[in-house]
């Protein structure tokens, strides 16, 4: 929970808010109750357990040093619906159309009063602007790191998808190992059979299923074999297409920690 309390003003009535680690807003319950005409003693009867809590790490002088009771955004809306005061809907609209959008967009709300001069307003704007820039820099750095980690696999996938080359299932097993999956050829055959990509029994064992062929994951190489007694049989070998290689790597390889 962010310990920084932000104080807003609704028709002269204070509304104090703070945000949690997920940057979701919470509202000091006493302020909301004063505005909506709700008795704070009824809050636990009205709200769900995840809509109300105490902040143990901060203290507000107006509460005599006691950690304030706070309510979540859904909890606030529930109280608005229960309120009989005519300004309840106006209060909700003010929160949803002015306070929350600015908090989420800039990391802070800039309430101005008649006593604020231009320099005061500018100082507040600069402070929030700096905080916003820092947050943007953090997000850009995280995105760049994500891109750098994904790039090798993306290059591989692009190269394979653009290739007409096929590979044997044993070679696919090696590719999967290179991308983090601990597997050998026999185990891969077993998984492909279990998942419906290869036939399981009889003459269709280890032959690509119709489902796999429709997806363009395999090609079948047929080889005529002449036996010593003169009869000829056809040997069918499953070859994994470039599309299939990319498909199975994406399906079976463990995701990176950041994904």
* 102 & 11 share domain: yes
Q: Domain ends where: 120, 146, 162? A: 162
Q: What is the DSSP letter of 10?
A: E
Please spell the DSSP secondary structure of 123-163, one letter per residue: HHHHHHHHHHHHHHHHHHHHHHHHHHHHHHHHHHHHHHHT-
The reported pLDDT for the residue numbered 3 is 55
Residue 192: its H or E element: helix 185-194
The reported pLDDT for the residue numbered 129 is 53
* 235 & 158 share domain: no
Closest C-alpha among 172, 135, 190 to residue 248: 172
* 14 & 93 share domain: yes
**CB-based contact 71:42 (threshold 8 Å):** no
CA–CA gap between residue 55 and residue 44 (Å, rounded): 16
* 21 & 78 share domain: yes
The reported pLDDT for the residue numbered 106 is 55
The reported pLDDT for the residue numbered 60 is 44
The reported pLDDT for the residue numbered 62 is 42
Q: Assess if residue 51 is contained within a domain.
A: yes
* 56 & 133 share domain: no
**Phi/psi of residue 250, each to 5°?**
-65, -35
- Locus of tokens 């109280």: 79
**CB-based contact 47:75 (threshold 8 Å):** yes
Q: Assess if residue 126 is contained within a domain.
A: yes
Q: Domain ends where: 144, 162, 180? A: 162
Per the structure, the complete domain to which residue 123 belongs is given by 112-162
Q: How many folded domains does the chain comprise?
A: 3
Q: Assess if residue 124 is contained within a domain.
A: yes
Q: Assess if residue 127 is contained within a domain.
A: yes
* 195 & 122 share domain: no
* 117 & 102 share domain: no
The reported pLDDT for the residue numbered 162 is 44
Torsion of CA 68, 73, 78, 82, to 10 degrees: 60
Q: Per residue of the chain (259 residues), what is the pLDDT tens digit? A: 555 678 888 999 999 888 887 778 889 999 999 999 999 888 988 998 889 988 754 444 444 456 778 999 899 998 999 898 888 989 999 988 888 876 676 555 455 555 455 554 455 445 555 555 666 677 777 777 766 665 555 555 554 544 457 899 999 999 998 888 889 999 999 999 999 999 998 888 899 999 999 999 999 888 888 877 777 777 888 999 989 999 999 999 877 643 4
Token pair recorded at residue 118: 């231009």
* 102 & 10 share domain: yes
Q: What is the DSSP letter of 56?
A: S
* 173 & 145 share domain: no
* 196 & 145 share domain: no
The reported pLDDT for the residue numbered 147 is 60
Token pair recorded at residue 46: 């009205």
Q: Assess if residue 257 is contained within a domain.
A: no
Closest C-alpha among 38, 41, 108 to residue 77: 38
* 174 & 209 share domain: yes
Strand-pair partners of 9 = 14
**Cα angle, residue 103 at apex, residues 98 and 109 outer, rounded to 5°:** 70
Q: Domain ends where: 146, 162, 178? A: 162
The reported pLDDT for the residue numbered 23 is 77
Token pair recorded at residue 111: 């309430």
Q: What is the DSSP letter of 62?
A: G
């Amino acid at each position: 929970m962010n310990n920084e309390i932000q104080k807003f003003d609704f028709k002269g009535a204070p509304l104090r808010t703070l945000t949690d680690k997920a940057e979701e807003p919470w509202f000091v319950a006493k302020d909301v109750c004063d505005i909506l005409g709700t008795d704070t003693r009824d809050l636990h009867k009205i709200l769900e357990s995840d809509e109300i809590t105490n902040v143990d790490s901060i203290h507000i002088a107006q509460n005599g040093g006691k950690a304030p009771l706070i309510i979540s955004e859904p909890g606030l809306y529930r109280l608005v619906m229960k309120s009989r005061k005519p300004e309840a809907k106006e209060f909700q609209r003010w929160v949803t159309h002015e306070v929350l959008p600015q908090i989420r967009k800039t990391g802070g709300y800039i309430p101005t009063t008649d006593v604020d001069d231009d320099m005061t307003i500018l100082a507040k704007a600069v402070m929030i602007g700096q905080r916003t820039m820092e947050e943007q820099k953090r997000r850009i750095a995280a995105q760049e790191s994500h891109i750098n980690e994904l790039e090798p696999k993306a290059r591989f996938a692009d190269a394979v998808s653009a290739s007409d080359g096929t590979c044997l299932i044993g070679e696919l097993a090696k590719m999967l190992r290179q991308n983090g999956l601990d597997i050998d050829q026999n185990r891969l055959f077993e998984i492909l059979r279990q998942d419906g990509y290869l036939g399981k029994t009889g003459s269709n064992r280890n032959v690509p299923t119709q489902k796999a062929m429709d997806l363009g994951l395999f090609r079948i190489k047929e080889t005529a074999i002449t036996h010593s007694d003169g009869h000829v049989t056809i040997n069918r070998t499953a070859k994994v297409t470039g599309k299939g290689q990319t498909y199975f790597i994406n399906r079976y390889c463990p995701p990176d920690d950041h994904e």
